Structure 1
Amino acid sequence: MEAGVLSVDLQGASVHRLGGRLQVRDAEGVVRAEVPAFKLHAVWLFGGVEVTNAVLRLALSEGPVLHFLTRQGRHRGCVGPEPGHRAALRVRQYRHLSRSRTRVPFAREIVRAKLKTQLERVRAWSRNRKIGMADVIEFLLAALDLLDAETTVDGLLGLEGTATRKYFEGYGRLFTFDFGFRGRNRRPPRDPVNALLSLGYTLLYTEVLSAVLLAGLDPYIGGLHAVKDGRCSLALDLMEPFRWIVDELVLARMNLATFTTKDFRQDVDGAVFLQPAALPRFVAVFGERLAAPLALRSAGSPTVRQALRTVARGVRGVMLHPERPLAEVLQPSAGAQP
């Protein structure tokens, strides 16, 4: 059975441990949910939700990983297993991702995997929706051709950023309704599409971060994203090839009117966020996508959650055995194992 996620957004609620179960109680002490802990690999806690000391101890010893988010969906931090017995692995990770001769190829393969998935999605959208995307396809192909010529991480980041801006230019053509989307913006998002993209990326980030922690890797030491205090750079690296999952989910749900402009609010500074009442609906559809096959029409495809764990374990294998090609690890269906 695949472990899942418990999401708690009821303000004033608290999470308790009763033996091998986690119990959610509202502010009056009424039990709202109860789940066996072994069925969970993560818990999402939105806003003013408290956890008991017993739950914290469980998270630190064996999981699930607790993720603390604001009511708007911004990730504030997490508590998860601290694999002290993985010290040797982490030393190898630090060496691999701090030396230019190994860090740059690592970063290059992350960008290559991301651009390939963007190209695949754009081609599929163009074919299925009969919308012209020739300019975007040509741009992404050119960016892929230039990857091997880039010899610095900064150069790779610049190439990835330019290609992604073009990708979102094409993405904006796909919406049935005008939601004011004119490209990617964040911190804060300025339109409903960007609000859902930001929230979806945050939830995806928590999944990748959980997978990285459970694999025994240090989430703060990445290859593409530079080391920065408080930033889980490796988790950000590994989510790059999977961002399309959020893009596709948001596109589908907005075009199906699962979410409309009434589900969003705008602050005085122009920031747009999902209404609190609509948050559980998005969390639910995102959770369904995590449990669905990565390739929806491919028999035997791993679920999204399984794929993320496979990639994290595969990266662990690359840290221990640097001769292993990262490109294969970033293809979950290949079943890379440590």
Structure 2
Amino acid sequence: MRKMLNTLYVMTPQSYLTKDGEDIVISVKQQETFRIPVINIEQIVMFSYMGASPGAMKLCCDHGVSLTFLSPNGRFISRCDGPVHGNVLLRKAQYKASEDESISHNLNKLFISGKIRNYQSIVSRFTRDYGMTDELQTAIKKLNEYKRLALQSDNDASLRGVEGEAASTYFGIFPSLIVQQNSDFPFHGRNRRPPKDAVNAMLSFAYTLICNDVVAALDTVGLDPYVGFFHTLRPGRPSLALDMMEELRAYLGDRFVLSLINRRQVSKNDFKAQGEEGIIMTDNCRRNFIKAWQSRKRDLITHPFLGDKIELGLLPYAQAMLLARYLRNDINDYPVFLIK
């Protein structure tokens, strides 16, 4: 199993990356603030418009360190990777599968049914800790039915309809899962671009981080993150990463955000309104969010298919590896990740 190195998150908006020998150096207003040997990191995520020197970018590319640029508020700008080293036969198999409606729809059913099943698991786990209500019981029954419909769907159009109904049901009861500070963290459904409340701001931020990790995982195993099966192909859109994210959103993203709120690791003062940007996280909130995120990625879980204990941060790599095995016909089907 792949060893997880560090992801370097650069949060200060005025930060600029340069190189000094084999070190990555972070400077703010031409003053060095941090340095780290490039061999100690696997990717860099910058929340800054300042960018990086060509030398720093080359150093990252030469050592297989991906460099992702996000706006200070977490919106994707661009990504820099070195030469592709993936197995060309694996990518040919991926491209062939993406053109095969039968294979594509089978994968899509697994992605979406897994997503719905994990929605259901999040709600069921909550009821074990806090008790069942009629609202939650109804939601669990509906999600179970949507999972069945997803697996029985015969085309992507009907699958998208089921996915939409399931998401509406799940996010409809999401406020009930906020048991602490619920008056400070109102939630009236999923919204984005921009998020209209603090909960949506954190969900969007978490999904951005997950997407970045999934792109890196797919690159690592040799798959093309931009050629997917369910999400529409568009220039610059990591469609396969968005496909694989579906099964991971609830476990990696939603549960994490709920934990931050219910454990009072965030407060309403950590967010502010900013015109057309909607509600955004303060700089201090983003730093604390990243710190908690990095800590959680070191938690150990037993992978339900592999049976091995892995760090949570390696879950995207495990799923990318399993997808590659399926596309190479090494296993009969893709084992979607399901919360136990």
Structure 2 alignment gaps of length 5 or more: none
- The 1:136–1:161 alpha-carbon spacing in structure 2 relative to 1, beyond 3 Å, is same
Deviations 1:115-138 (A, max 9, x none): 121111110011102252101110
- The 1:37–1:197 alpha-carbon spacing in structure 2 relative to 1, beyond 3 Å, is same
Q: Does 1:165 align with 2:171?
A: no
- The 1:159–1:128 alpha-carbon spacing in structure 2 relative to 1, beyond 3 Å, is same
The corresponding residue for 2:333 is: 325
Contact 2:248 2:337 in 1 (8 A): no
Deviations 1:26-61 (A, max 9, x none): 22322x222232221111100234212222123333
What is the distance in 1 between the residues matched to 2:286 and 2:232? 32
What TM-score, normalized by structure 1, do the two folds share? 0.90
Contact 2:23 2:37 in 1 (8 A): yes
Match for 1:141 among 144, 162, 175? 144
Q: Does 1:279 align with 2:292?
A: no
The corresponding residue for 1:24 is: 26
Counting only pairs closer than 5 Å after superposition, residues 31-42 of structure 1 correspond to structure 2 as 32-42=33-43
What TM-score, normalized by structure 2, do the two folds share? 0.90
What is the distance in 2 between the residues matched to 1:138 and 1:18? 58
AA matched with 2:115: K
What is the aligned residue count? 329
The corresponding residue for 2:130 is: 129
What is the distance in 2 between the residues matched to 1:154 and 1:27? 51
What is the distance in 1 between the residues matched to 2:331 and 2:271? 48
Deviations 1:186-206 (A, max 9, x none): 111111000100011101111
Contact 1:290 1:304 in 2 (8 A): yes
Structure 1 alignment gaps of length 5 or more: 334-338
Contact 1:111 1:160 in 2 (8 A): yes
AA matched with 2:73: Q
The corresponding residue for 1:96 is: 97
Match for 1:257 among 252, 264, 270? 264
Q: Does 1:231 align with 2:237?
A: yes
AA matched with 2:187: F
What is the distance in 1 between the residues matched to 2:96 and 2:243? 17
Q: CA deviation at 1:251?
A: 0.8
Contact 1:21 1:36 in 2 (8 A): yes
What is the distance in 1 between the residues matched to 2:297 and 2:331? 31
- Larger deviation, residues 141-150 vs 313-322: 313-322
What is the distance in 2 between the residues matched to 1:213 and 1:91? 14
Match for 1:13 among 15, 28, 50? 15
Contact 1:12 1:50 in 2 (8 A): no
| 3-state SS in 2 of match to 1:57 | helix
Deviations 1:240-269 (A, max 9, x none): 111122111111111222211111111234
What is the distance in 1 between the residues matched to 2:230 and 2:89? 22
Counting only pairs closer than 5 Å after superposition, residues 184-333 of structure 1 correspond to structure 2 as 184-244=190-250, 245-269=252-276, 271-294=278-301, 301-321=309-329, 324-327=332-335, 330=337
AA matched with 2:82: P
What is the distance in 2 between the residues matched to 1:48 and 1:142? 46
What is the distance in 2 between the residues matched to 1:320 and 1:50? 38
| 3-state SS in 2 of match to 1:241 | coil
Q: CA deviation at 1:213?
A: 1.3
- Larger deviation, residues 187-196 vs 156-165: 156-165
What is the distance in 2 between the residues matched to 1:107 and 1:300? 26
AA matched with 1:145: R
AA matched with 1:184: R
Contact 2:86 2:221 in 1 (8 A): no
Q: CA deviation at 1:322?
A: 6.9
What is the distance in 2 between the residues matched to 1:285 and 1:253? 9
Deviations 1:277-329 (A, max 9, x none): 32111111111122222469xx96312221111111221222222753102x6
The corresponding residue for 1:66 is: 67
The corresponding residue for 1:336 is: none
The corresponding residue for 2:119 is: 118
Q: CA deviation at 1:184?
A: 1.0
| 3-state SS in 2 of match to 1:196 | helix
AA matched with 2:30: E
